Amino acid sequence: MWRRLLSSNLKSLISHSAPLSSTTPRSASAAARFATAATASHSSTLLSRHFSTQSDDGKAVKKTVQDVMPIATGHEAEEIQADLEGRDILEIDHPEGPFGTKETPAVVKSYYDRRIVGCPGGEGEDEHDVVWFWLEKGKPHECPVCSQYFVVS
């Protein structure tokens, strides 16, 4: 994409600098011609694009392309959209709650029937190195180190 953008801008710069190149000898390098053409005022938009809008008081306000049209795609775009709507799509990755017991296990949210879970133990003296295990829906799992119970919802 950058090649296409730069080549089209270079072609327009060369066409605008045609009078300059006619006065220079044919043996001048392309870099020298580009350097003289790059000093032209129209080439300042080669790498930065700005939009100007009128505000209520009549002053022009400069905005970048990202202000007008976000360029995020994929998961990043989903995160930005969710943030604008006031919800956190990553909340599923931060389970909180009391220490899980057999009667009231710690609930881990998942979009799927299985999930890898890491148990860091309890707080203070009950804390241990993270133990990783597969947690399946409908099957409570007990951490082998701290005896905390987990279930998937």
CB atoms within 10 A of CB 70: 13
Q: Which two tokens stand for residue 34?
A: 């580009």
Please tell me the number of Cα atoms within 13 Å of 1 on its side-chain side: 1
The DSSP symbol for 97 reads: -
Q: Are 131 and 104 in contact (CB under 8 A)?
A: no
Q: Which two tokens stand for residue 41?
A: 């005022």
Judge whether 146 is annotated as a binding position: yes
Judge whether 42 is annotated as a binding position: no
User: What is the distance, to the nearest Å, from the Cα of residue 110 to the centroid of all Cα atoms in its chain?
Assistant: 23
Q: Which two tokens stand for residue 62?
A: 């400069």
User: How far apart are alpha carbons 66 and 73 in whole angstroms?
Assistant: 12
Q: Which two tokens stand for residue 119?
A: 């148990």
Judge whether 16 is annotated as a binding position: no
Annotated binding-site residues for Zn(2+) read: 119, 128, 143, 146
Binding residues: 119, 128, 143, 146
